[in-house]
Structure 1
Amino acid sequence: MADVNRGNRPLSPHLTIYRPQMTSLSSIMVRITAIASLVFAVLVVWWFLAAATSPEAFAGIDGFLRSWLGKLLQLGATWAIFYHMLGRLRHVVWDLGYCLEVEISEKLGLCMFIVATALTLLIAIVV
């Protein structure tokens, strides 16, 4: 039978009272960094295909990747790869049954941002 009180029910309060938490933000960021890494992988494949195709095609994509925008994309992709790697590592630790307390999980989420940024800066300085 149809629900006749459908219009009288309150909406879910999550949009008005929900406060984002570090654990949810870090989980969302792991998903976003996976997509960003995939997009950058397409650029790398394009670079390889252009190298195999012709000098003109290679010069175009190589010029883009060597520009300031290309270098910024490479820096962002490096951060995304490190962040995603740390997120996957955190899930392995959770799967083993460790660090499941909320306080520790929040600290791990913050640690992921800090360590991914530090590793990215280290790579940027070395390379």
Structure 2
Amino acid sequence: MSGTNRANSRPLSPHLQIWRYHATMFASITHRITGMGLYFGTFLIGAWLIALASGPETYALLEPAFTSIPGQVVLFVWTIAALFHFATGIRFLLWDGPHIGFEPKTASAVSVFLYVFAVLGAVAIWATILWL
């Protein structure tokens, strides 16, 4: 068999045939996405704080955007992103520092927990806000 035929018969990326999607991979991707979302969402929070500090007339211009249903959904999703990014940041600190949680089953269980924590935490925060 010539070298050309042997090279053509080998797969280009063998890992693609054996790769399995898992919770840790999704959590890592979500961490990056939430980081980008927090970057842009913080501009909205900053605009709200500037309007609040600028006086009632300026605040009255932005208040409808934040109190509307789409505005509330954006803020709720921003809360989920903040909690998820915070929790995954702690996970990365544990991975980088004392090297805790690298076992595949532990890493997957923690990754699933991160999603549950972010959603339930956001629901608890918003329920508390709306309750008051």
Task: Place the TM-score, normalised by the shorter chain, in its bin.
Answer: 0.7 to 0.9
Q: 1:112 is matched with which residue?
A: 114
Q: Residues 16 and 97 (structure 1 numbering): CA distance in 2 closer, same or farther, change over 3 Å?
A: closer
Q: Deviation above 6 Å: which 4+ runs of structure 1?
A: none
Deviations 1:49-105 (A, max 9, x none): 3442882x4323221011000000110000000000000001111121111101100
TM, length-normalised to structure 1:
0.82
Give the total of aligned pairs. 122
* Unpaired runs of at least 5, structure 1: none
Could you tell me how far apart the structure 2 residues matched to 1:45 and 1:99 are?
36
TM-score with structure 2 setting the length: 0.79
Which residue matches 2:81? 80
Partner amino acid for 2:20?
A: R
Q: Which residue identity is paired with 2:108?
A: E
Deviation at 1:19, TM superposition (A): 3.1
Alignment of 1:67-106 (within 5 A): 67-95=68-96, 96-106=98-108
Query: How far did 1:44 drift?
Result: 1.4
Aligned to 1:126: 128
Using the aligned pairs only, state the percent identity. 26
Q: CA RMSD in A?
A: 2.5
What residue in structure 2 maps to residue 26 of structure 1?
27
Q: Which consecutive residues of structure 2, in runs of 5 or more, have no partner in the other structure?
A: none
